[in-house]
Amino acid sequence: MKLVSIMLATLMMLLTAAMVVNAEEHAATEAMESGITATEHAAEEAKETVVAVSENATAKAEAATEHVAEAAKEDVADATKTAEKATPGFEGLFALTGLLGAACLLLGRRE
């Protein structure tokens, strides 16, 4: 009877050891699979973040382009106004005529 109880105890210990090893392998497999799924999940989140940042950058670039276009239109309008103001008109002609008239008067009195 002692021999049978020793054999049963040994068999139970072997089965327990086998179950522990199996559980460790199973836990390692699950950890690896969960690590893979976590990696895939992280990759998907990274892709979503990149897409969001890309869309944000595109929107900012479009806004900057519109701002530059508006500024360019304003600069062109300002340059046109400045060019119109800088164009000599009758004021220069009247000033020149007045100077020539004054010179003629001064030279006429000398003679």
pLDDT tens per residue, range 8-59? 788 888 878 878 877 777 777 777 777 677 777 777 888 888 888 888 888 8
Distance between CA atoms of residues 78 and 76, nearest Å: 5
Which amino acid, residue 82?
A: T
Domain ranges of the chain: 2-110
- DSSP string covering 11-75: HHHHHHHHHHHHHHHHHHHHHHHHHHHHHHHHHHHHHHHHHHHHHHHHHHHHHHHHHHHHHHHHH
Quick check: pTM over 0.75? no
